[in-house]
C-alpha cells in the first residue's frame, strides 16, 4: 500500500506527540467526506489541525527559508473553533533534509495571524533563519516569533 504525502508529514507531528512521557489520546476527525483528513482531537481537550508545505515551493535567501501555507475555507472554519491549535510542517521532498521544521501555533496566535471570522481562503508564511526561532507572518500580522522546539516542549492539556 502506498503512503500518501499527508500521512508522511502528519506522522512527523504525531510521532513527536506520542513519544512524550505523558499518556495521550488521539482521534482523527474527518473534515469533509472525500477530503484530505487534517484535524485530530487530542485528549478530548483540543483540536490540532496539521498542514504541510514542501520546500520545493519554499523561497531560500541567504540563510533563510520560507514556506507558505494556504488555508481553505473549510480549514478556516476549523480554526474558528476556540480550542484549535495548528501544527505547520515545513517539509522537504527529501526525508533526510535537516532544514525541515514543525511550527506549533496556539489559538491566540492563529487569531493574530488570520481573520478566523472570515471564511475565505487565507495564507501565512513560516520563515526559518539559521540559528534563530521561527518567524511567522501574514497579511494581518507582521511577525510572530515561535520557538523551534515548541512541539517537543508542549504541555498538552489533559495529559
The domains of the chain are located at 5-152
Residues 39-63: what's their mean pLDDT? 80
Looking at domain 5-152, its CATH architecture is: 3-Layer(aba) Sandwich (3.40)
User: What is the SS3 assignment for 7?
Assistant: helix
The C-alpha atoms of residue 159 and residue 144 are separated, in whole angstroms, by 27
Q: Which helix (H) or strand (E) holds 134?
A: strand 134-138
Q: Return the pLDDT at 20.
A: 64
pLDDT at residue 150, as a whole number: 95
pLDDT higher than 70, residue 82: yes
Residue 5 contacts by C-beta under 8 Å, 6 or more apart in sequence? 52
Task: Quickly state the pLDDT bin for 32 (edges 50, 70, 90).
Answer: low
pTM, two decimal places: 0.89
Amino acid at each position: 500500500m502506498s503512503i500518501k504525502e499527508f500521512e508522511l508529514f502528519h506522522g512527523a507531528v504525531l510521532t513527536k506527540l506520542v513519544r512524550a512521557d505523558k499518556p495521550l489520546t488521539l482521534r482523527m476527525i474527518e473534515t469533509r467526506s472525500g477530503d484530505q483528513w487534517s484535524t485530530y482531537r487530542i485528549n478530548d481537550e483540543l483540536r490540532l489541525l496539521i498542514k504541510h508545505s514542501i520546500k520545493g515551493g519554499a523561497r531560500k535567501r541567504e540563510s533563510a527559508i520560507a514556506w507558505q501555507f494556504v488555508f481553505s475555507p473549510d480549514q478556516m472554519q476549523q480554526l474558528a473553533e476556540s480550542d484549535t491549535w495548528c501544527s505547520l510542517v515545513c517539509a522537504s521532498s527529501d526525508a533526510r533534509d535537516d532544514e525541515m521544521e514543525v511550527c506549533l501555533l496556539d489559538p491566540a496566535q492563529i487569531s493574530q495571524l488570520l481573520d478566523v471570522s472570515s471564511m475565505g481562503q487565507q495564507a501565512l508564511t513560516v520563515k526559518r533563519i539559521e540559528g534563530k526561532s521561527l518567524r511567522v507572518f501574514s497579511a494581518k500580522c507582521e511577525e510572530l516569533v515561535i520557538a523551534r522546539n515548541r512541539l517537543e516542549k508542549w504541555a498538552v492539556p489533559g495529559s
